[in-house]
C-alpha cells in the first residue's frame, strides 16, 4: 500500500528569507486552530496558517527543493499545493476533534 500523500504549502519568510512548510490538513493543537509546520531550524511546530501566509511570500519549486528533500528523507510523501481551501482547514479541525475524542 503506497504512503498517503501529505498536502504541503511552501512559503518564504519576508524578514529572514527562510522557507517554511505548512501542512494545512494536519492539526498541531487539540482544537485544530493551528496546523503543523516544518523549517530547517526548529523543525516541527504549530503555525497559524493565515498569519504565516500574511508574513510570507510564495516560493518557486527550486526555492522549496532543499526543504522538500529534507522532508522526503524523514518519510513524508509530499503533495505540494499553492493554496488551501475551507475544506483543508475543516479536515484539520475534524482530525483534531477525533484525537480529542479518542483520548477520552
- Count Cβ atoms below 10 Å from residue 97 Cβ, excluding itself: 14
Distance in angstroms (rounded) separating the CA atoms of residues 91 and 85: 10
Question: How do residues 84-98 score in pLDDT, each as one tens digit?
Answer: 888 888 888 888 888
In terms of Cα–Cα distance, which of 58, 33, 55 is closest to 46? 33
Give the pLDDT confidence score for residue 68 in this predicted structure: 97
Question: How do residues 43-81 score in pLDDT, each as one tens digit?
Answer: 899 999 999 999 999 999 999 999 999 999 999 999 999
Question: How do residues 10-46 score in pLDDT, each as one tens digit?
Answer: 999 999 999 999 999 999 999 889 999 999 888 899 9
Do residues 71 and 1 make contact, with C-beta atoms less than 8 angstroms apart? no
What DSSP state is assigned to residue 82?
Answer: S
Using pLDDT thresholds of 50, 70 and 90, give the confidence band for residue 104: low
Query: In this model, does residue 101 exceed pLDDT 50?
Result: yes
Do residues 44 and 37 make contact, with C-beta atoms less than 8 angstroms apart? yes
Using pLDDT thresholds of 50, 70 and 90, give the confidence band for residue 1: very low
Check: pTM over 0.75? Answer yes or no. Answer: yes
Q: Quick one: cell of 94? A: 475534524
Amino acid at each position: 500500500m503506497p504512503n498517503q500523500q501529505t498536502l504541503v504549502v511552501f512559503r518564504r519568510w519576508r524578514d529572514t528569507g527562510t522557507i517554511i512548510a505548512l501542512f494545512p490538513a494536519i492539526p498541531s493543537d487539540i482544537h485544530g486552530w493551528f496546523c503543523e509546520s516544518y523549517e530547517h531550524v526548529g523543525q516541527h511546530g504549530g503555525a497559524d496558517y493565515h498569519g504565516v501566509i500574511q508574513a510570507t511570500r510564495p516560493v518557486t519549486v527550486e526555492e522549496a527543493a532543499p526543504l522538500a528533500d529534507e522532508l522526503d528523507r524523514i518519510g513524508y510523501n509530499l503533495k505540494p499545493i499553492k493554496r488551501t481551501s475551507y475544506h483543508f482547514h475543516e479536515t484539520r479541525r475534524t482530525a483534531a476533534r477525533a484525537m480529542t475524542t479518542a483520548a477520552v
